[in-house]
């Protein structure tokens, strides 16, 4: 504890501070005592040494001291704000920082403190308070950069009416860019405006603003690299690979980027260069072939127009018109002499001399604008800096030999003979194959690779590259999750090239797939996730990704990984995994589910707030209760059924027979169910009489020493989950609930979670009136389970069966699930 002060007669009041109620003379002629300030310095020392408990205790003592002077109150608040910041209590830190605003030395510093308080309120989740502080910072600041970033933060925090907020701040940024006072910050302002446009998906406007950001950049190297990076990333996501490569290539100072951004540029740039070059080849050859297909007069006229365009871009004269004009002007005219005998006539006042001079100038230099070399070079430099879009001349025939800018030079590139046309087609085939391989092997963009391979197959079905294209198509289809097309491509490869080398490789790959160490590694990671060994799975996946990259990812693995992160409320990581499913496996059934989940996650706060404020009054005799989609602990809550069903009184049933007490196994008691003669709602298709005759003898019951089966008894459909974590068991229940609501909307099919033991969990559907109804439901659901309902769940992790109330009681007692499955296979051969 701090040593008490030397003040006497405190009348029982605890004080450690020195009283400063001095006379006016002393206040004028002497400094205030430094002892009170020493307490604050001592607390600051504790904070810097991370002795936060001691610092907090000392500050509380000083705060409660009646003798602590008012002149140091703002210092105390500032230090308290720093203490809460170190403790990551950002809301309290912002509160105390605002109380210390009197310590700010200038208007700009006041705005800076308000900006910091707004940031801390944002970290604390107090979005509205944060927006108010950002607005105050905008009013007080004299720094344009602070205003720009404050507006960006306001847009990201705005929840209700976000579209209006975004547009309002965007308009304000564009107005700022036009003011002279913000001239040196235009690059940052346009960059911020582009980010706002990207928030609403307006890519064209965002690109224009980013180009302006580069154009108005004077000496801010880091900002220029960020603008080029955002341009490149934006075009990459839009699959505009040629512009993306050009913008990546424009990043001249990668050291200004973060390590992650620099690695992304390094990884993408080589592949994009290959893709861009080959796309240019295909585009150019297609243009040349279209020109060759024209009639001779149209072709000649078009090439002449292109020639004039090319020569104009080079600053050369028009090969035809200007030369004729110059020749006509020079016919019969002697070379003028500015210092000739006719000394009385000035050159620039003689129209004929000026005309001859202009003709000579054009004959030597062509049509040039009336600007000097300095202005011309400045324009070239600005063009290089801005990297602004230039006229697209990549399809112009002269690109093969740009030095020979004559009509004959351009015409020789047009494929007019059969040999030239064959060479052109060969160049296209080679370029398409190289482009597809770059997508497949370097970027692992399998949907784009699929598109290029299909284009190659469509345009050149008789080419020698078809064999390799079919082989690779089978691979990329499988990576896309489109197994049917993968099998079709493999079958076509075997049919067209039965003795080919790649057919043998395809068979070898299928044979050795299970022996692939990488494949086994990722299958093991999937099992870790699905079984609930999350930390081990995360570490194993991180190590495997470093070794193998993305080549062995599957949509099922990414989906269950995203479910785990959703439960942990790490939404940004979950969205990243779901976006990978969309990008890499766009044709997988899970891609649609991923899109829905991304949309829900982005609105998670709104949805949770709405549900929290929702007041639902349910009637007492409701037939069903809502399913808690987030609760994964229902397995351990005895006596609570989130979706239990009450049987209508009109149904005649014998006295209910309760199931065994499950409190010792951590399972949930099911509602007592007896024999039900009929269902109050429609049921799925029943088994035929012949099928039931096979299933049961004339007595109606088949049994062994343990279990018994009667087709007329009430039955549950059971989904048996093998080593599946409760998180995914709940997700499976939710998936079947959604399917039942869509497919059997006129029925009530409750689903219960049951934990049999540490290995097996049961999802129980029903009850159904008899075995025919239950088996009919299984026949409808089982074919869709792996493709539509739970495509993320491996086939060896679940199986279907049916079970009666009596058999469930026995099974819970003896835990002999394999024995029960064997018995049911004997009772209903071939059904399970």
Rounded CA gap, 16 and 429, in Å? 88
State the pairing for strand pair 708-709/715-722: unpaired
By C-alpha distance, which of 799, 808, 805, 801 is closest to 828?
801
Whether 19 maps to a domain, the answer reads: yes
- Helices (H) and strands (E) in the chain — how many of each? 35, 6
Q: Full-prediction pTM beyond 0.85?
A: no
Q: What does the pLDDT read at residue 206?
A: 92
Whether 793 maps to a domain, the answer reads: yes
Average pLDDT over residues 660-668: 35
Whether 723 maps to a domain, the answer reads: yes
Q: Is the distance from CB of 292 to CB of 299 less than 8 angstroms?
A: yes
Give 490-509 as a DSSP string: HHHHHHH-TT-HHHHHHHHH
Chain segment 577-610, per-residue pLDDT in tens: 888 887 777 767 777 778 888 877 777 776 776 6
State the pLDDT confidence band at 675, using cuts at 50, 70 and 90. very low
Rounded CA gap, 311 and 527, in Å? 66
Q: Which residue has the higher pLDDT, 337 or 600?
A: 600
Q: What does the pLDDT read at residue 332?
A: 47
Q: Which residue has the higher pLDDT, 359 or 371?
A: 359
Does position 140 have pLDDT exceeding 70, yes or no? yes
* Count of domains observed in the chain: 2
Residue at which a domain ends, from 24, 57, 89: 89
Whether 755 maps to a domain, the answer reads: yes
Rounded CA gap, 587 and 592, in Å? 9
Chain segment 270-287, per-residue pLDDT in tens: 999 999 999 999 999 998
Whether 81 maps to a domain, the answer reads: yes
Boundaries of domain holding 759: 673-827
Whether 797 maps to a domain, the answer reads: yes
Q: Is the distance from CB of 148 to CB of 185 less than 8 angstroms?
A: yes
Show the DSSP H helices in 158-220 as ranges. Answer: 162-178, 186-199, 203-215
Rounded CA gap, 550 and 403, in Å? 45
Q: What does the pLDDT read at residue 379?
A: 59
Residue 513 burial class via C-beta count within 10 angstroms: exposed 0-12, middle 13-18, buried 19 and up: exposed
Whether 55 maps to a domain, the answer reads: yes
Q: What does the pLDDT read at residue 323?
A: 45
Residue 70 vs residues 21, 40, 81, 204, 340: alpha-carbon distances, Å: 11, 13, 17, 57, 95
Whether 640 maps to a domain, the answer reads: no
Residue 49 vs residues 2, 37, 54, 96, 496: alpha-carbon distances, Å: 18, 19, 10, 21, 75
For the beta carbon of residue 131, count every other beta carbon within 10 angstroms: 21
Average pLDDT over residues 304-315: 77
State the pairing for strand pair 708-709/760-768: unpaired
Which segment, 500-514, 632-646, 774-788, is predicted with the most confidence on average?
Answer: 774-788
Does position 314 have pLDDT exceeding 50, yes or no? yes
Mean pLDDT in the chain? 76
Residue at which a domain ends, from 37, 61, 89: 89
Provide the 3-class DSSP secondary structure of residue 426: helix
Residue at which a domain ends, from 67, 89, 111: 89
């Amino acid at each position: 504890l701090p040593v008490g002060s030397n003040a006497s007669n405190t009348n029982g009041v605890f004080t450690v501070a020195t009283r400063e109620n001095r006379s006016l003379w002393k206040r004028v002629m002497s400094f205030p005592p430094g002892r009170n300030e020493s307490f604050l310095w001592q607390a600051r020392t504790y904070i810097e040494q991370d002795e936060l408990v001691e610092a907090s205790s000392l500050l509380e003592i000083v705060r409660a001291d009646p003798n602590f002077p008012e002149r140091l109150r703002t210092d105390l608040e500032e230090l308290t704000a720093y203490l809460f910041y170190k403790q990551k209590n950002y809301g309290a830190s912002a509160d105390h920082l605002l109380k210390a605003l009197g310590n700010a030395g200038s208007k700009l510093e006041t705005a800076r403190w308000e900006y910091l308080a707004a940031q801390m309120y944002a970290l604390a989740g107090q979005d509205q308070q944060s927006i108010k502080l950002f607005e105050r910072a905008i009013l007080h600041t004299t720094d344009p950069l602070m205003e720009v970033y404050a507006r960006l933060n306001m847009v990201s925090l705005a929840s209700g009416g976000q579209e209006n907020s975004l547009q309002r701040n965007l308009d304000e940024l564009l107005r700022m860019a036009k003011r002279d006072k913000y001239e040196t910050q235009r690059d940052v302002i346009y960059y911020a405006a582009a980010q706002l446009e990207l928030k609403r998906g307006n890519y064209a406007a965002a690109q224009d603003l980013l180009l302006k950001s580069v154009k108005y950049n004077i000496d801010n190297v880091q900002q220029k690299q960020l603008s080029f990076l955002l341009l490149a990333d934006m075009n990459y996501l839009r699959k505009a690979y040629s512009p993306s490569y050009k913008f990546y290539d424009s990043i001249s100072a990668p050291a200004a980027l973060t390590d992650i951004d620099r690695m992304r540029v390094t990884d993408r740039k080589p592949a994009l260069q290959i893709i861009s070059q080959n796309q240019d080849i295909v585009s150019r050859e297609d243009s040349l072939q279209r020109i060759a297909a024209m009639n001779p007069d149209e072709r000649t006229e078009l090439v002449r127009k292109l020639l004039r365009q090319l020569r104009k871009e080079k600053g050369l004269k028009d090969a035809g018109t200007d030369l004729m004009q110059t020749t006509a002007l020079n016919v019969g005219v002697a070379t003028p002499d500015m210092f000739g005998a006719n000394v009385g006539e000035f050159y620039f006042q003689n129209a004929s001399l000026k005309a001859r001079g202009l003709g000579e100038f054009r004959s030597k230099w062509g049509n040039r604008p009336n600007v000097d070399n300095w202005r011309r070079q400045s324009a070239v430099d600005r063009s290089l800096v801005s990297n602004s879009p230039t006229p697209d001349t990549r399809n112009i025939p002269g690109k093969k030999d740009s030095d020979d800018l004559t009509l004959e030079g351009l015409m020789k590139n047009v494929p007019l003979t059969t040999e030239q046309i064959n060479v052109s087609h060969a160049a296209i085939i080679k370029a398409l194959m190289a482009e597809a391989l770059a997508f497949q092997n370097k970027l692992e963009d399998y949907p784009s690779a699929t598109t290029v391979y299909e284009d190659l197959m469509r345009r050149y079905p008789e080419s020698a590259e078809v064999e390799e294209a079919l082989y690779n198509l089978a691979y990329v289809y499988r990576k896309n999750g489109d197994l049917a097309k993968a099998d079709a491509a493999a079958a076509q490869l075997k049919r067209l090239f039965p003795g080919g080398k790649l057919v043998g490789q395809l068979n070898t790959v299928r044979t050795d797939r299970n022996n692939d160490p990488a494949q086994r590694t990722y299958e093991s990671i999937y099992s870790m996730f699905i079984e609930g060994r999350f930390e081990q799975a995360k570490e194993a996946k991180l190590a495997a990704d470093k070794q193998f990259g993305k080549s062995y990812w599957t949509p099922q693995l990414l989906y269950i990984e995203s479910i785990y992160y959703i439960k942990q409320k790490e939404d940004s990581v979950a969205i990243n995994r779901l976006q990978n499913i969309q990008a890499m496996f766009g044709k997988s059934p899970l891609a649609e589910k991923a899109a829905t989940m991304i949309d829900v996650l982005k609105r998670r706060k709104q949805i949770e707030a709405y549900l929290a404020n929702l007041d639902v009054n349910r009637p007492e005799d409701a037939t069903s209760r809502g399913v808690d989609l987030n609760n994964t602990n229902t397995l351990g809550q005895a006596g609570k059924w989130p979706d239990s069903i009450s049987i209508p009184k009109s149904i005649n049933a014998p006295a209910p027979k309760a199931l065994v007490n499950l409190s010792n196994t951590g399972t949930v008691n099911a509602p007592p169910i007896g024999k039900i003669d009929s269902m109050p709602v429609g049921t799925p298709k029943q088994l035929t009489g012949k099928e039931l005759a096979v299933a049961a003898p004339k007595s109606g019951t088949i049994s062994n020493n343990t279990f018994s089966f009667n087709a007329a008894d009430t039955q549950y459909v059971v989904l048996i989950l093998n080593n599946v974590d409760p998180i995914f068991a709940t997700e499976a229940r939710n998936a079947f609930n959604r399917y039942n609501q869509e497919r059997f909307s006129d029925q009530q099919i409750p689903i219960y979670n049951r934990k049999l033991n540490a290995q097996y969990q049961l999802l129980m559907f029903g009850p159904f009136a008899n075995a025919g109804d239950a088996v009919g439901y299984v026949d409808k659901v089982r074919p869709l389970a792996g493709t539509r309902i739970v495509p993320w769940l491996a086939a060896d992790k679940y199986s279907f069966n049916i079970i009666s109330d009596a058999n469930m009681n026995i099974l819970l007692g003896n835990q002999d699930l394999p024995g029960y499955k064997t018995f049911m296979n004997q009772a209903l051969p071939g059904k399970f």
